Amino acid sequence: MTEKIKIKSKNVNVYYGQKKALDKINLEIPTNKVTALIGPSGCGKSTFLRCINRMNDTIDICRIEGKIIVDEEDIYSTEVDPVLLRAKIGMVFQKPNPFPKSIFDNVAYGPKIHGIVNSNDELEELVIYSLKKAGLFGEVKDRLNDTGTSLSGGQQQRLCIARAIAISPQIILMDEPCSALDPIATAIIEELIDELAKNFTIVIVTHSMQQAARVSQQTAFFHMGSLIEVGRTDQIFSTPSQKKTQDYITGKIG
């Protein structure tokens, strides 16, 4: 691939205590494209996702070796402030987790604490922009003061995406963002992912092969802590080069 690379992992090893969770991961993630990470539970795909915004730092027994380079900068170097890093890299989780605050405040919280806006007008503009970008504004415009938790599951997930977008990140990490949603809410989020990929680099962990095939341009298959295969999504799902990948995506006994 000749695209511009946004994230580059070099020989990344991750240990939880004595247990090695990731083994020499070398993966390049292209700018403004969707990369799907697939693999069975416990294969290390979520661990890898969490390395990208240093979320594993919060786990005491977790140790990381190797380099993760975002825009030519090693994010594990001592000069990098993880808080600022996370402002650049938004994350959406499996279960929607809005703050117990109003819809407006859910989105406004990030820009406020990061000092992104200078006035209330600017803040309001940014909240509306983010809600629009997440495809939620039309549904909530008359009830911005209601609590975020009063929304449906699919709407809550879009609220979390709006919250992630509000701090104008460059990368959005998604850890099974649709696994708690019904098919309609899933379709809305998938449509949104297509739209977001125009401006953001997206890395998504998913257990749905069909979802990975639909939303991503690059797919990486993890198995038992190793990166088995990475390639163009259409190639991975039609003619994977590794037997392990083929067995996994077709649901055969491995």
Partner 1 sequence: MKEHIVTTYDEDLNSLKSNLTKMGLNVEKQIFQAVDLIKIINISKAKEVIENDKGIDALEKKIRGFATITLSKRQPLADDLRQIIISLKISSILERIGDHASNVAGRILSVKKAPDSYSTDSVHQLGLLVLKNFSTALSSYDQESKEIAQSVPTEDITINSVYETCFREHLHLMMEDRDIIGFCTQMLFIAKELERIGDLSKVISKEVIYNLQGTLK
Name the site residues for partner 1 (rule: CB under 8 A).
Answer: 209-210, 213, 237-240, 246-247, 249-254
DSSP label at 4?
A: P
Which of residues 115 and 251 has its CB atom nearest to partner 1 in the complex? 251
What CA–CA distances, in Å, run from 23 to 5, 64, 198, 223, 240?
22, 10, 32, 10, 21
Which of residues 17 and 254 has its CB atom nearest to partner 1 in the complex? 254
CB of 151 to partner 1, least distance (A): 30
Reduced 3-state DSSP string for 74-101: ECCCCCCCHHHHHHHEEEECCCCCCCCC
Which of residues 17 and 42 has its CB atom nearest to partner 1 in the complex? 42
Which of residues 136 and 228 has its CB atom nearest to partner 1 in the complex? 228
Give the span between the Cα atoms of 227 and 20, in whole angstroms.
14
- Torsion angle (degrees, nearest 10) of CA 187, 188, 192, 194: 20
CB of 243 to partner 1, least distance (A): 9
CB of 229 to partner 1, least distance (A): 12
| Burial class of residue 74 (count of CB atoms within 10 Å of its CB; 0-12, 13-18, 19+) | middle
CB of 213 to partner 1, least distance (A): 7
Give the span between the Cα atoms of 60 and 22, in whole angstroms.
17
State both tokens at 41: 């539970």
CB of 174 to partner 1, least distance (A): 21
Which of residues 57 and 247 has its CB atom nearest to partner 1 in the complex? 247
Query: Cα-flanking dihedrals φ and ψ of residue 62, to 5°?
Result: -90, 130
